[in-house]
Amino acid sequence: MSVTSSGSPWPGVPRLLAWLAAILVFVGLVAAPATGWGQPSAGAASDNADRVIVVGGDHYHPPYEFLDEDGRPAGYNVELTRAIAEVMGIEVRIELGPWSEMRRRLETGEIDVLEGMSYSEDRDASFDFAPPHAIVHQSIFARRGTSPVEGLGALRGKEVIVQRGDIMQDLLIGQEVGAELFPTDTHADALRALAAGQHDYALVANLPALYLSRELGLTNLVPVARPFSLRYGYAVKAGNADVLAQFSEGLAILKNTGRHQAIYDKWLGPLEQGEGLPWKRLGLIGAIASALLLLILGGIVVWNRMLKREVASRTEELRRQQQQLIQADKMTSLGILVSGVAHEINNPSGLLLLNLPVLRDAYDDAHPILEAHYRQHGDFPFGGLPYSRMRDEVPSMLDEMLKGTQRIKRIVGDLKDFARQGSRDLGEDLHLDEVVKTALRLVDNSIRQATDRVETHYAGNLPTVRGNAQRIEQVVINLVLNACQALDHRGQTLVLVTRHLAERRVVLLEVRDEGRGIDPATLSRLTDPFFTTRRESGGTGLGLSVSAGIVREHGGDLTFASCPGEGTTVTLTLPVEPTDDDTSDQDERRA
């Protein structure tokens, strides 16, 4: 995009604007969706506070928006809309239906806003858009075995399935690609038709296509090209500024509080991360292998009864050694994996940390020129939005991206410290509060998946403990993960408390959960090697045993208190380093 004007007193402005806008758009795409794109004035909602705002969306566009099994609206867009209504104090009614019908209803004024529409210049003539709350990647899907294609130009003369009224249909028609289009009502209809052998390609959004392919079992479809990405957000009929202002302001509040990112991670994060290893299949293979091993051992026992006890003893010892070797190999592999991932993340993070301050300085230098151009020639497009709207937002956008990148660097550093091969050297001074905070950062995602209620109470100014911080950190992580697994629903609470008991010269950590609890018979065996109540879900029974050993190495203690149905409390106690006063008291007693 460029801005031109004849007779401008600043002949370098158009080129500077184009250069700076291109850089800012690129950085915005890298940082989305966590970055805000601007906020309208706070009083925009007052005129419409007493009426119900009708919000429309697609009835079958998972994971963004869809009707669940009970016919109720669900998905990322729906939860985001309800959160905006909550923080803005407005009442909304969400109506989902066929996309082409919902788009027509917005154009005729039957609904007030669409909660998810991709932006284009052609659409900008009929609709007004809020700052995007996601970036939608479009993909060309084909049947498995089809060769990759080079962008939209390769679709000329091909039969292409699109969703009726979707941005892809608009763009293919507007750009005169020359493909024969076959519209369907939903993404699911498009993918089913393609999987059944109809037509050549389907041009659909990437995440919904991956979600639907998995849900519908369409294993013969693969993406063969990813031509471009589009900004995706709330849209109103052109001129409906009041409603747009309310949703823009509400979205900005959610982004600044981190709630938007939590909703985004809940619905879209798992699909973006991709599918993991086929653990169920591996578990089945392991179960079969274990069954064969037990069959062989049973034959040996039957064949030689006189050596039954000796064989059983040796078999149990062998099994323990195998489990220990497997666990050690897993930890080694984890360390290698985390180190590699941390290295790959650090490279782009380093570039962002280096370049974002430069971009901020560049914008500060260009700001007087842009302002002068604005005063003389009026408003102009800047990064796809009016300059008058962007000029106050660009610095805060860059600052937020810099803070986010610094947070990524800190988390990666914690992961590297945790995965580093632990030493048995117990000669460093560690602070229990800091160890607990680091451990919580590492398992933050597991905690957020298990409960909405987490309480931390740090004593502050705790005396130091002599030991190995990384190994105590490993113990805390194990205790927190066990507590999360004991919770039955998200409304139950997880509490962590640190204290200093001066009379006992110890510091302690209490990890309390309101989970299902432990019966007395099981409680006494928790630290026994290979004892676990979660063997069917992959538990090895080594976690608490290893943790108890680490605590004993530090001269501490690990105790458990629980009642079935009322939760569990685990107390980690560590001795503190003696102070000068303690040493003097000991000398006096000896005298």
Q: What is the 3-state secondary structure (H, E, C) of 435-452?
A: HHHHHHHHCHHHHHHHCC
pLDDT at 439 over 50: yes
Residue range 135-231 in CATH 3.40.190.10: yes
pLDDT at 3 over 60: no
Angle at 377 between CA 375 and CA 379, to 5 degrees: 80
The per-residue pLDDT for range 540-562, each reduced to its tens digit, is 456 777 788 889 889 999 999 98
Amino acid at 310: E
Dihedral, CA of residue 458, residue 495, residue 526 and residue 517, to nearest 10: 160
CATH number of 20-133+232-272: 3.40.190.10
Token pair 């990759």: residue: 148
The per-residue pLDDT for range 347-403, each reduced to its tens digit, is 788 888 888 888 888 888 988 998 898 899 888 998 888 888 888 888 888 888 888
pLDDT at 133 over 60: yes
Residues of the chain with pLDDT > 70, as a percent, come to 77
What is the distance between the alpha carbons of residues 454 and 445, in angstroms, rounded to a whole number? Answer: 12
Task: Show contacts of 377-382: CB within 8 Å, 24+ apart.
Answer: 377/5, 377/8, 380/3, 380/17, 381/1, 381/3, 382/17, 382/21
67 — alpha (psi -120 to 50), left (phi > 0) or beta? beta
pLDDT-based confidence at 328, cuts 50/70/90?
low
Residue range 428-583 in CATH 3.30.565.10: yes
The per-residue pLDDT for range 43-82, each reduced to its tens digit, is 443 444 568 999 999 999 989 999 998 999 999 999 999 9
| Token pair recorded at residue 18 | 């184009």
What is the distance between the alpha carbons of residues 277 and 271, in angstroms, rounded to a whole number? Answer: 14
What is the distance between the alpha carbons of residues 124 and 473, in angstroms, rounded to a whole number? Answer: 53
pLDDT at res. 148:
84
pLDDT at 207 over 90: no
Q: Partners of 141 in the beta sheet?
A: 202, 223
Question: 591 with 580: CB under 8 angstroms?
Answer: no
The per-residue pLDDT for range 445-475, each reduced to its tens digit, is 889 999 999 999 999 889 999 998 888 998 9
Amino acid at 562: S
pLDDT at res. 41:
39
| Burial of 16 (C-beta count, 10 Å sphere; 0-12/13-18/19+) | middle
- Asked if the bond preceding 223 is cis, omega within 30° of 0, the reply is no
Within 8 A by CB and 6+ apart from 37, the residues are 28, 131, 132, 385, 393, 397
pTM for this structure? 0.40
pLDDT at res. 65:
94
pLDDT at res. 327:
59
554-to-363, 417, 430, 436 alpha-carbon distances in Å: 54, 20, 11, 16
| Burial of 193 (C-beta count, 10 Å sphere; 0-12/13-18/19+) | middle
- Asked if the bond preceding 278 is cis, omega within 30° of 0, the reply is no
268-to-63, 206, 207, 274 alpha-carbon distances in Å: 7, 11, 8, 10
pLDDT at res. 130:
93
pLDDT at res. 275:
41
Within 8 A by CB and 6+ apart from 523, the residues are 560, 562
Q: Which residue has the higher pLDDT, 535 or 220?
A: 220
pLDDT at res. 395:
87
pLDDT-based confidence at 415, cuts 50/70/90?
low
Token pair 């650090």: residue: 346
